Amino acid sequence: MVNSTPQVVTIAGSDSGGGAGIQADLKTFQARKAFGMSIVVALTAQNTLGVQSALPVPLDFIDAQFASLKADFRIGAVKTGMLFNGAYVENVVKNLKEVDFGPLIVDPVMVAKGGHQLLDQDAVDAIQNKLLPLATLVTPNIPEAEIIADMTIESEADMLAAGLKIQGYGAKNVIVKGGHSKAERARDLVLFENREQLWLSSPRVNTENTHGTGDTLSAAIAAELAKGTDLKDAIIIGKQFIQGAIADGIDVGHGHGPTNHWADLSDDIVVESE
């Protein structure tokens, strides 16, 4: 009998504080009723106050994790998160080319909450030129889109220009997330490979509990794709999920707390087609 359980994998770093990274991804997969698996590229000692230490796993151990999952599971979608440095990006790209894990969602984790760039230029180059051409969808926030597109984003017109530049690297579809903008409502721009454009807007939530928002959004989209949801609906559901998770926050730790993966989907998302 064919196993019809949706199966999805995250390739990212472990967050000992549980709010971001692989831990946020697995919580999201569970909440969206998909069976989650992981390929760990790095371990971090972190909490809501920041990252205290990071330890990359050996590259051949990443190979081993890919081989284990390939040998035993029918994976319907895969997402990437923090990939540590250029050598790790290239290793993940090599392995992704050797498996069929379904649609690839690239969450290009590049910038820390405080604005510090996490990846060196070699890693950025590897993401631009080697990872993005494999991507079904890439989900940068404004600071990440500025790095990938090598431009400043100060307006919605700039978001569009950056998204088109990112598509120029080979990514089929792009979300430029507008949460870092100054607009009254947060507006995300979605560019599809068929040239369709979509704006998703949501009310801003006055909260410090935003740790892991990008991980959670991309994981929710990946889970939906593993379930067979079409891409546009998967993106809208992902946005509803993260909006609910932020709006119905939980209070743990003393810094930027996590989102609430138990929350219901939000009905505050406005979808505008261009």
Question: According to the model, what pLDDT value does residue 180 have?
Answer: 63
Share of the chain above pLDDT 70, in %: 96
The pLDDT value given to residue 252 = 94
| Alpha-helical regions (H) of 129-230 | 142-149, 156-168, 213-226
228 falls within a domain: yes
- Determine, yes or no, domain membership for 1: no
pLDDT at 12: 98
Q: Tally the domains of the chain.
A: 1
Residue 140 has a pLDDT of: 98
At 173-206, the pLDDT tens digits run: 999 999 766 667 889 999 999 999 999 999 999 8
> Which positions ≥6 away from 208 have C-beta within 8 Å?
255, 256, 257
**pLDDT tier, 223 (very low <50, low <70, confident <90, very high otherwise):** very high
Q: What is the pLDDT, as a whole number, of residue 111? A: 75
Q: Evaluate whether residue 27 is within a structural domain.
A: yes
Domain membership flag for residue 2 = no
Q: Is residue 175 part of a domain?
A: yes
What is the model's pLDDT at position 182?
66
d(CA 25, CA 2): 25
Q: What is the CATH number of the domain that holds 58?
A: 3.40.1190.20
pLDDT of 2 > 60? The answer is no
pTM for this entry: 0.96
Q: What is the mean pLDDT of the chain?
A: 94
Segment 141-167 mean pLDDT: 96
Q: Which domain does 140 fall in, by range?
A: 7-273
Q: Has residue 159 been placed in a domain? A: yes
Task: Answer yes or no: is pLDDT of 113 > 70.
Answer: no
Nearest to 212 by CA among 70, 81, 77: 81
Q: Provide the pLDDT for residue 131.
A: 98
Task: Answer whether 105's CB lies under 8 Å from 136's CB.
Answer: yes
User: Max CA-CA distance within the chain?
Assistant: 53
Instruction: Tell me the β-bridge partners of 184.
Output: none
Residue 235's closest CA among 136, 112, 148? 136
Q: Residue 105 above 90 pLDDT?
A: yes
Q: Which residue has the higher pLDDT, 3 or 186?
A: 186
Residue that wins the pLDDT comparison between 89 and 274: 89
Cβ-contact 260, 245 below 8 angstroms: yes
Between 16-20, 94-98, 195-199, 205-209, the lowest mean confidence (pLDDT) is in 205-209
SS3 assignment, position 269: coil
> Is 74 inside a domain boundary?
yes
Q: pLDDT per residue over 37-92, tens digit each? A: 999 999 999 999 989 999 999 999 999 999 999 999 999 999 999 998 999 999 99
The residues, ordered by sequence, that sit 6+ positions from 201 with a Cβ below 8 Å of its Cβ are 185, 186, 187, 188, 269, 270, 272
For residue 104, is it within any domain?
A: yes
Q: Is the pLDDT of residue 1 over 60?
A: no
Q: How far apart are CA 239 and CA 202, in angstroms?
A: 9
HSE on the CB side for 206, CA within 13 Å? 1
Residue 203, CA distances (Å) to 60, 118, 266 in order = 44, 29, 11
Mean pLDDT value of segment 20-28:
97
